[in-house]
Amino acid sequence: MPNSQPPASRRTFFLSACVASAALACATWLKKPAQNAVAELPKPAPEKGGGYSLSDHVKQNYKTTRV
């Protein structure tokens, strides 16, 4: 009996790997906005000034500027 399918080539393997990688990247990218939608709302600004607060963003900035 002759084999009805041609043998797998290197080109087919790399094409399949690229398609699988692209599908995984799209699935990861599409999943992130749903996680970000649940993020905390920022605190309202104080009425009498003093708007500085030590937030996570500020803490991260301090960590990166240490010598």
Domains of the chain by residue range = 10-36
Measured distance CA(5)–CA(43) in Å, rounded? 63
**Nearest one of 66, 64, 42 to 55, comparing CA atoms:** 42
Percentage of residues of the chain with pLDDT beyond 90: 25
Distance between CA atoms of residues 42 and 60, nearest Å: 17
pTM for this one?
Answer: 0.39
Q: Are 23 and 17 in contact (CB under 8 A)?
A: no
How large is the average pLDDT for residues 15-41? 77
Q: Which residues contact 51 (CB under 8 A, 6 or more apart)?
A: 45
Q: Rounded to whole angstroms, how far apart are CA atoms 42 and 57?
A: 12
